[in-house]
Structure 1
Amino acid sequence: MSYYPPGQGAYGYPGYPPQQQYAAGAPVGYPPAQPGYPAYPPQGGAPPPGQPGYGYPAAAPGAPPPAPYGAPAPYGAPAPYGYPAPGAPPPAPYGYPAPAAGAHPPPPQHAPTMTHAPTMAHAPTMPMGQPNYYQPAAGGPTPQQDAETIHSACKGFGTDEKRVISVVAARPPEHLAVVTSVYKQFYGRDLVEVLDKETSGHFGRALHYLILPPIVLDAELIYQACIGAGTNERCLIQTLVGRTNADMAQLKHVFQSKYHRSLEQTVKDDVSGYFEKLLVVCIQGTRDEIGHYQYNVEADTQALYKAGEGRMGTDESQFIHILTNRPDAHLRLVFKQYESRYGKKFSKVIIKEFSGWIETALVYLVEWIENPAMCIAKNMEKAMEGAGTDDASLTRLVVRNRTPAFMAQIKANYTAKYKKSLRDRIKGETSGDYRRTLLMAIGEPERG
């Protein structure tokens, strides 16, 4: 559900730092390269030309320390699993030629295109947390103080749940990552295991979700959704659909490292049909996010009509291809054009043409593209409507989307649509420490 504003790095951090500049001249003691011959390779342990590498080259003086586990690679580093480096154009979509190096490919030969569509920022995915670089807010509690608070609340007979909530549900993930590290240094115990032992039920699950680094939580959610009896399809949709390419590459890396198995194969083993095809395409992480290619709004509008309402039966593959490969800004124009021309909101077209989990997934994708905050608000309401509450889904949605700026948009959209505050809705569906935790996580602590 990760869940990336343009110009910002993944998980809410600033953009990647500029690539380090290394010396390109001849090594000390050697004459300069002669005209007509290639320049000397950069120093730092690189092997002679034509030989395989010995490992990683030595860091240049003044270079930053290695990134912590799970952090995004520096700008210019190769992306995991063979994906293009950040900023490189993605592979050409089906039917389009690959772009030449340093140049944009020629547009397809059809009607003039609308290429300067207004953009909408993706909802920010929660930061993973970087203990080596995190600086707590001035005047606020330090990670050391929070570690001591949790230890004091959990030691002895019984647990002071309110003190635990005041830390775990109120701090950002990057702060909690440092708290977890400090706790282990001070007390020699894993904080996740401590909280799992001290709490249980919906409350315990909420604390478990909150204390994990968000990308690690997503990997765990997907694993649990696929392993064992049955499949949690709704969880797969909310954690896999709508992610950026860079975010998906990082998720695949963390999943492989944590569970020693491929994310794609794990999902493929548990789902089937067009639902499987949609999730596998999402997992590839190759959507043209910023418009390296030119697409024709009119052509895509007609293609979607001919794939659905304009024919007998449905061409499911055409829907999946267009909705998972085009930039969001382009697709918003397509949805608007479709409604204007054929008099039907595009999400209603999906409901008419599809059924089952592929319908649920495509509706989620369309609503995410149109308005991420409203998409999450609707899914929160679905978790609470009717007899009983889907507490696992509600907790997952709250924890994974608790970035303050994005949560403010969710609350505003929820109130606009349902004429009731999200705070009051959650308060009416939950109770006790579980309710206090969710309300604190959405920035609406329980009064009194």
Structure 2
Amino acid sequence: MDAQMLGGALQGFECDKDMLIDILTQRSNAQRQMIAEAYQSMYGRNLVGDLKEQLSSHFKDVMVGLMYPPPLYDAHELWHAMKGAGTDENCLIEILASRTSGEIFQLREAYCLQYSSNLQEDIYSETSGHFRDTLMNLVQGTREEGYENPAMAAQDAMVLWEACQQRTGEHKTLLQMILCNKSYPQLWLVFQEFKTISGQDLVDAINDCYDGYFQELIVAIVRCVQDKASYFAYKLYNAIHDFGFHNKTVIRILIARSEIDLLTIRKRYKERYGKSLFHDIRNFASGHYKKALLALCAGDMEDY
């Protein structure tokens, strides 16, 4: 039925964008994959192809983005962050700092299948220095799972503290090795030990000692360990307020997190910034693009 409604919406005299929003933003990703199959067998046409043909600009980015399975959506974003002139380092940081080892394995596979290219090799050729080393470590997806060792945590905290004092290449390597490979519960302990030793939060210490994309990436990893939903709330707030509405970032986070932790992200956003995410999107976006983002964001009554 959804496929039939979409067919009518896309193949009529004028594209019914409201119908597209009503259906595609209110279904799970798994349901959207089934709708795409039904659409293909019903019309002998590719739904993503038709969406690309009929829509334009940021509205198209939202509707088409919703149709990708999550690993392929991440792969698509990474590919576009690196191809062409210049590299979108912020996209690389946001995705690779926040995904689990399992998610990284799946997006690497999707990247290879979709683009006949190796993600590690592409990152290696598009980035440099300790920023590159850290990304290469993350993309291997070798983070330990769930294991805690308090004695080791004190030792690692000392290494991090020294890395913030010394700032040599060797210390940068040790810093990123700990942050990319230790489990989240272990890193929690490390961060607490760090605070005891230095009297400082690790994010503040890193901001004081390092700069550039290496610093941004390391801080992103630490923020994701501390509270992933707060990290995304912070990224959304910056994208909406500091960059004059950075559409790509807003779209990417809303789509990628919609079935994971978007409710928690919305909660953190409201707690931290006083206004709801719904309110801010409504004030900064317009047209069907705004409608699609708000439908994804699904505001509470108090947000209206």
Q: Same fold (TM over 0.5)?
A: yes
Within the candidate set 39, 44, 54, 1:188 is matched to: 44
Structure 2 residue aligned with 1:429: 284
Any conservation in 2 of the 1:169–1:210 contact (CA below 8 Å)? yes
The corresponding residue for 1:320 is 176
Q: How big is the shift at 1:252?
A: 1.6
Q: Do structure 1's residue 258 and structure 2's residue 114 form an aligned pair?
A: yes
Question: Per-residue deviation at 1:423?
Answer: 0.6
Q: Is contact 2:146-2:186 (8 Å) kept?
A: no
Name which of 337, 344, 353 aligns with 2:200: 344
| Post-superposition offset of 1:362 | 1.0
AA of the residue aligned to 2:104: M
Q: Deviations over 1:333-360 (max 9, x none)?
A: 2212222332211111111121111111
1:442 aligns with 2:297: yes
Structure 1 residues 262-273: aligned runs within 5 Å: 262-273=118-129
SS at match of 2:126: coil
Quick one: distance in 1 between partners of 2:300 and 2:67? Answer: 18
* Deviation sequence 1:26-60 (CA, Å, 0-9, x none): xxxxxxxxxxxxxxxxxxxxxxxxxxxxxxxxxxx
Query: Deviations along 1:115-173, whole A, 9 cap, x unmatched?
Result: xxxxxxxxxxxxxxxxxxxxxxxxxxxxxx11111111111221110000001111110
How far did residue 312 of structure 1 move? Answer: 6.2
Q: 2:63 aligns with which of 207, 211, 220?
A: 207
Q: Which has the higher helix share?
A: 2
How far is the alpha carbon of 1:318 from its aligned partner? 1.2
Mapped to 1, the partners of 2:295 and 2:125 lie a distance apart of 38
Q: Deviations over 1:238-269 (max 9, x none)?
A: 22223222222222212111111211001111
Indicate the residue corresponding to 2:73 in structure 1.
Answer: 217
- Alpha-carbon distance, 1:322 to partner: 0.8
Residue 159 (structure 2) aligns with: 303
> What does 1:210-289 correspond to in 2, within 5 Å?
210-289=66-145
Listed one character per residue, the Cα deviations across residues 352-377 of structure 1 (whole Å, up to 9, x for unaligned) are 12111111111111100000110110
Mapped to 1, the partners of 2:270 and 2:241 lie a distance apart of: 15
Taking the TM superposition and a 5 Å limit, the aligned residue runs for 1:122-133 are: none
Q: Kindly provide the amino acid, as one letter, of the partner of residue 218 in structure 1.
A: D
Q: Deviations over 1:292-335 (max 9, x none)?
A: 877612111111111213x3657211110111111111111221
Name the CA distance, whole Å, in 2 between partners of 1:381 and 1:163. Answer: 29
Q: CA distance change for structure 1 residues 213 and 413 in 2, over 3 Å: closer, same or farther? A: same
CA contact (8 A) 1:423 1:439 kept: yes
TM-score normalized with structure 2 length: 0.94
Superposition RMSD on alpha carbons, in Å?
Answer: 1.9
Distance 2:167 2:119 in 1: 36
Report what 2:17 is aligned to.
161
Q: How many Å apart are 1:445 and its aligned residue?
A: 8.7
Give the corresponding residue for 2:270. 415
Moved over 3 A (4+): 292-295, 311-314, 445-448
Between the aligned partners of 2:189 and 2:90, the Cα distance in structure 1 is 27
Secondary structure in 2 matching 1:241: helix
Residue identity in the other structure for 2:277 = L
Give 1:187 deviation, angstroms: 0.4
Q: Is contact 1:153–1:164 with CA below 8 Å preserved after alignment?
A: yes
Which structure 1 residue ranges, 5 or more long, are not aligned?
A: 1-144
Q: Would the aligned equivalents of 1:245 and 1:286 in 2 still touch at CA under 8 Å?
A: yes
User: Larger Cα Rg: Structure 1 or Structure 2?
Assistant: 1
Once residues 244 and 197 of structure 1 are traced to their aligned partners in structure 2, the CA distance between those partners, rounded to angstroms, is: 34
Partner Cα separation in structure 1 for residue 11 and residue 64 of structure 2: 18
C-alpha contact (below 8 Å) 2:236/2:253 kept by paired residues? yes
CA drift of 1:415 comes to 0.8
TM-score (norm: length of structure 1): 0.65
Q: What is the one-letter code of the residue matched to 1:237?
A: I
**Aligned pair count?**
302
CA distance in 1, matches of 2:73, 2:133: 24
Q: Which shows bigger deviation, 345-354 or 159-168?
A: 345-354
Cα pair 2:148 2:185 within 8 Å, conserved? no
Decide whether aligned partners of structure 1 residues 332 and 255 sit closer, same or farther in structure 2, where only a CA change above 3 A counts: same
Deviations 1:262-301 (A, max 9, x none): 1100111101111110110011111112228776121111
